[in-house]
Chains A and B, each alone.
Chain A
Amino acid sequence: MEKLFPEYPFPLQTLENGLWLIIALPLLGAFINGVFGKALSRKSVHWVACASVGGSFLLSLLVIWALGSASAFVPNPFSSDTARYALSADYGTWFSAGGFKVNFGLLADRLSASMLLVITGVGFLIHLYSTSYMEHDKGYAKYFCFLNLFVAMMLTLVLADSLVLLFVGWEGVGLCSYLLIGFWYDDNAKAWAGRKAFITNRIGDFGFLVASFLLVLLVAAAVKEAPQGTPATSYRFSVGLHEKGPLAFQSLSALATTLVAQDSSLEPSENVPPLFIHRHIETGPLKGYSYAGVMTVVLLFFLLGAAGKSAQLPLYVWLPDAMAGPTPVSALIHAATMVTAGVYLFCRISYLVVLSPFAMATIAVVGCLTALIAALIAFAQDDIKKILAYSTVSQLGFMFMGIGCGLFWAAFLHVVTHAFFKACMFLGAGSVMHGNGDETNIKRLGGLRKEMPWTAWTFLIGTLAITGIVPLSGFFSKDAILFGLETQQLADVHVLHTLYYLGLVAAACTAFYMVRLYVLTFEGQRSPLAKLPHAHESAWPMTLPLGVLAVLSIVAILHGFPYLLPAPNASPNQTLMEFYLTPVFGLANRIGFHAQTLLGNGLDKASWESLLWTGWLKAWLIALASGGISAFLYLKLWRGERKFPAILEPLRRFAQNKFFVDELYELLFIERAKGLAKGLYRYIDAFLVDRVAVHGTAQTVGFVGKVLCWFQNGNVQAYASAIALALAVGLTYALLQVLS
């Protein structure tokens, strides 16, 4: 593949120094449109917005070109490793305190560069699309300001070279998503949806933060306790810590290497080889826990974080509601880029993920259940955007399954292909809405193929791609994940094989509801309930992106094709994507490959590289059959009254109401929290603390004062009588004493 392009001809140093421009351009665009937007004409607004993202796209192309060159490598400041095919830049300290430090450091390796292309490429197309879609909107400049800001934040997320900087992008995209979901804020429901998204994301961010803090502790413990000769004990590591802080990814990769080092101080036992990771921590706040245990907890907290951002169980509920935003936003943020951040995170820290088979299994299980549940809900939805939203949730579930079985490249390939075909379909849905008076109910559409041919054909390509029909990109990406589930082994935890069958069911469901969506919208007769008598095809700024994305949905299959690689150093049936990402996932693979011998549990190398056609074929046939049945049912090829079987009606209702998950959460958590807050306020704060304690003290003081007042009322007669009384009592007492 390197042979296809000439070597990058310009000095790499210049490109490294200019990496920040990729982020700064959209940021500048957001600034111009945000501050001066009202004074600018619409034309200038979208020129600024599109040009800034387009500029970033060109720079990203340069980056990916440069990453083909072997002279692009980054020495790891923490160990003797180098990251091959990577560029990095460090723009100084962000903040430091005590032993902690974070830099403004950027890292572009092949993983982040691929994401860069997706973000800026798809992002540019969606900006272009938006110029037409948002044409008549009053908040034109505001919209493009937010959209540019989003792109900048997403680019920060993928270019960050430390977890903290990644978190900037992580929260930043959540923020933009909040702003864009609630873009039409005068509709209360839409504004609520934005808030729901942000708070659900924040629950995930809580997990992210806790995981990061635990990692800091883990690094500190490893520095103190690791066996001699491992990276963490080297002088270089301490220099690295001083320069870049413990949460730089390079530090974490050195940590991973340290954790799988042989540890002679441990007793060798039969099923647990003497690795440092199995030792118990002796110093610091984590004293008593084992490194492996803490790592599992860290990954589970990251899973919570990723579940928030990538809409997995139990935090997926915000994504369907997020469809309240403008449709291009749904395409860019809630399908192509932001929601894949969780997958990206796990890919970024793949070398940590493989350290804990238990966490991997959990990731896979969560992904699988999400894929299945979302697919089932999608069956019964009638809103075109809602169906696509649930399908996104479901596809993200597939990506998590990929992470869970250690096929990071496959999960990431699915991120890329999904970005193409799902963005294509979302934009298609937007085009449908645009041409049909904002109608979103597919039962009130129909027969659009003749009126909107561009939209229909591109949507069909998207549908076929997500279903996994052969010459389209969804085939290899999804089926590679299923294949991984079938063949991989997490030795201690035997779940993957079960998940494989559930995954097949989810794939079948996907095919069914996607074909249903396509057929009901574009085939058959126009529904009599349609808002407009005739639909109209959208203008070129909308159809052009559709076309480009449809082409990409087809072409992207090349990345997944095995037996394609002429390079001499590649394994015979590696896919292009796998080979391309080898420098990124190399460490994870090494740890995973040696798992059998090193960790005593982990991934099986033997099956890792042998792709079996039968496995691919099985998944493909199932999807094809399911899609076929759906087409048969909804195309009305079969004459006669189509009636939904009465027995299944309650089930359909149940699915239509999204299994009442929202209501359940409302009842279990939100109402509880509100009740708790009200109760605490009323009984503890207002009554116990303020009324009883504070005012009580004041009143007691007042009361005592009043009582004492009575003793000094200034009345001489009263004083005299008191004296007399006291005298009398005293005398009586004395008398009694004397007498007895």
Chain B
Amino acid sequence: MNASSTLLNYVVFLPMAFALLLLLLPGNEKGQIRFATLLGMLVNLVTGIWAFAAFKPGGPEFQLEYRLSWLSDLGISYHLGVDGLAVALVLLTAVLGPLVVLSSWRFVEERVKEFHVCLLILQTAMMGALCSLDVMLFYIFFEAMLIPMYFLIGVFGSEERQKAALKFFLYTLVGSLLMLLALLWVFFLSGPEGTRSFDYAALYNSLMDANREVSLCMQNNAHCSNLSATAAALLQWGPWMFGAFALAFAIKVPMFPVHTWLPDAHVQAPVAGSMVLAGVLLKMGTFGFWRYAMPLFPAQAWAYQNVLVALSLIGIVYGALMCLAQKDIKKLIAYSSVSHMGFCMLGMLTFQAEGTMGAAYQMLNHGVSTGALFLLFGMLYERRHLRNMADYGGIAKAMPIFTVFFIIITFSSIAVPGTNGFVGEFLVLLGTFKSNLPMWAGILATTGVIFGAAYMLWVVQRVFFGPVTQQANASLKDINFREFVTALPLVLLVFFMGLRPQPILEVLSPSVERYVARVHQARPNPEAKTLSPQREKEALWMHVSALPPPQPLHVQQVDDSQPLLANNQPGERP
């Protein structure tokens, strides 16, 4: 079916098209602007669902591929495609889109047009980063996300918005510039001139042999004597390149100790900004680790596993402890993100199927739960414009439906079974125990279960329970229909993802399998192979459609019913 081969273009660029449409509307037609944006996001949601439905878990690794030559002299092409994780994150992004617009329906009254244009461009950038199969294209989208986000925080935020926006911008830029440097380096390493390409699969495949050599050498010095030039360079400079990638993504995640931009950004950002930031932007960090840092540098990933695990564990426990010291609710939710994303990182760093699956699922969960927390708190903030817990109390009396929603999301956030959080957290912790990490790491991570309950219930207690201490809180209106409709999808998702996770897990599963196999090729102690040799071979090499002959501006459509390479089909799933 050829419709699906161009689908990702719509997924990525429809929001942008609506942004252009918005520019044509007069700035004082706030209602029209909002409706147009909502429409754009809804159309985007439809395409997102379509993409998710069109993705076949048993099919080739990258599906819905679309490819166009672009800047081919520089080795760059316009190449889109999704694997299981990417398509799941695309769906998450698409689901959050309309809710973000609805959440700011009344919140933003000034510069409405600019605000919505920013939202739509941000949506395009995020979708683009998720769908790119060209590393340079990814980088462009990755950086492009910063700009609308900068404006969302810096223009539409609260009192100290400028400072927070600048901090956010510089912090992330530092990391990604270093990554750009490393990326160029990898590009030049990847082969002789003329054959180099920024195409993700090509880059990965060209490094695979060198990575094998490097990992053998790192295990045993005897193998170090006749390394190829690429491998020698990787051996020497690999840690730096990996470090640059890791730093860029660690800042986005954010991992301890490069997390301090997050509380500031969240506190100052408007509801929409916080939702997108927590819901999708942070996942770019974990997604980056998953897609780029780990598979491109597996030997280094193993070598620095302990460091990254230590930082993730610190993130889990430290983030939770930070929450206990906060008075500002948004700051608290921000720190809880540090803790939750610590679980994501930990799961991925187990390099093991259950943990990695948990990490992938936890990414989606965090998007839903923390996105919902910011959304719900935004409703309260819109009414009172206060962020401190002490300013609230007894809200449950005035706003019962709101309270029910908030408590459901709270329980999802602390991973009560039956909600989405449990499945992800359980798998991450199980993976940690099953992995090569020491037992105490798993036990320490499991204490996060206790801390999570402690701080989230503390918030619920201080905000919703107890007597009404301030008169203004007694007369608050419960959520209206628009707010109800905004929050309901997330609440339903919490239960759906908690009780029927299997359809999503099945989409994620091939990606998980490949990620684990790719990292495992450099495992120092190959005691446990997770896959049979045949399936491992299938999982290790990346197959994408071949680059079309360079015919500028001519759209070459890929027919994905016909595998281009004979061994393009991974084995049947059990």
Q: Which residues of A contact B (CB under 8 A)?
A: 93-100, 164, 167-168, 171-172, 175, 178, 182, 185-188, 191-192, 195, 198-199, 202-203, 205-206, 209-210, 213-214, 216-217, 220, 242, 283-286, 673-674, 676-678, 680-682, 684-685, 689-690, 693-694, 698
Contact = CB atoms under 8 A, between A and B. Distances in A.
A680 B434 contact: no
Contacts of A171: 416-417
B453 A188 contact: no
Contacts of A242: 574
A195 B455 CA distance: 10
List of 4 A-B pairs having minimum Cβ-Cβ separation, nearest first: A98-B353, A97-B357, A191-B465, A681-B325
B365 to A, nearest CB: 12
A186 B433 contact: no
B433 to A, nearest CB: 4
B322 A99 contact: no
B501 interface: yes
B96 to A, nearest CB: 23
Interface in B432-462: 433-437, 439, 442-443, 446-447, 449-450, 453-454, 457-458, 461
A187 B393 CA distance: 11
Contacts of A680: 318, 321-322, 325
Nearest to B431: A98
A186 B397 contact: yes
A100 B427 contact: yes
Contact of A285 (B435, B457, B530): B435
Contacts of B466: 185-188, 191
Given A97-B427, A185-B396, A681-B325, A172 B417 contact: yes
A245 to B, nearest CB: 11
Contact of A685 (B322, B397, B411, B430): B322
Contacts of B357: 97-98
A95 B411 contact: no
B461 A192 contact: yes
Interface in B319-335: 321-326
Given A172-B416, A195-B457, A681-B325, 16 more contacts: A93-B502, A95-B502, A97-B509, A98-B530, A175-B411, A186-B397, A192-B461, A199-B454, A206-B447, A209-B446, A213-B429, A213-B442, A217-B434, A286-B439, A673-B454, A690-B260
B322 A677 contact: yes
Nearest to B453: A202
B416 to A, nearest CB: 5
6 contacts: A98-B512, A175-B416, A191-B466, A206-B446, A285-B434, A689-B260
A682 B505 CA distance: 41
A203 B324 contact: no
- Among A203, A209, A673, the one with the most B-chain Cβ atoms within 10 Å of its Cβ is A209
Nearest to B439: A285
A213 B425 CA distance: 12
Nearest to B499: A94
Nearest to B452: A202
A192 B464 CA distance: 12
Given A97-B509, A186-B466, A677 B325 contact: yes
Contacts of B352: 98
Interface in B446-495: 446-447, 449-450, 453-454, 457-458, 461, 464-468
A167 B416 CA distance: 10
B394 A186 contact: yes
Interface string B263-297: 00000000000000000000000000000000000
Given A95-B502, A188-B465, A210-B442, A676 B321 contact: yes
Nearest to B354: A98
Nearest to B407: A179
Contact of B458 (A187, A195, A205, A685): A195
Nearest to A685: B322
Nearest to A166: B417
Nearest to B403: A185
A673 B446 contact: no
B367 to A, nearest CB: 18
A96 B423 CA distance: 10
Q: Is the interface of A mostly helix, strand, loop or mixed?
A: helix
- Among B318, B326, B461, B465, the one with the most A-chain Cβ atoms within 10 Å of its Cβ is B465
Nearest to A165: B417
A202 B502 contact: no
Given A283-B527, A285-B435, A99 B354 contact: yes
A681 B322 contact: yes
B358 interface: yes
Interface in B200-240: none
Interface string B390-430: 00001011000000000000010000111000010011011
Given A195-B461, A676-B321, A689-B260, A167 B417 contact: yes
A685 B260 contact: yes
A617 B431 CA distance: 54
A168 B423 CA distance: 11
Nearest to B501: A95
B465 A185 contact: yes
A164 B426 contact: yes
Nearest to A681: B325
B171 interface: yes
A247 B252 CA distance: 36
A172 B422 CA distance: 12
A285 B433 contact: yes
A524 to B, nearest CB: 38
Contact of A678 (B325, B449, B499): B325
A673 B396 contact: no
A220 B434 CA distance: 9
A188 B433 CA distance: 39
Contacts of A167: 417
A214 B429 CA distance: 11
B162 to A, nearest CB: 14
B170 interface: yes
Contact of A216 (B318, B433, B446, B447): B433
A689 B257 contact: yes
Contact of A95 (B260, B423, B467): B423
Contacts of A97: 353-354, 357-358, 427, 505, 509, 512
Given A95-B505, A198-B453, A182 B465 contact: yes
A99 B411 CA distance: 28
Interface in B334-375: 352-354, 357-358
A93 B167 CA distance: 46
A93 B352 CA distance: 21
- Among A96, A97, A178, the one with the most B-chain Cβ atoms within 10 Å of its Cβ is A97
Nearest to A196: B457
B516 to A, nearest CB: 8
A27 B423 CA distance: 21
A171 B412 CA distance: 12
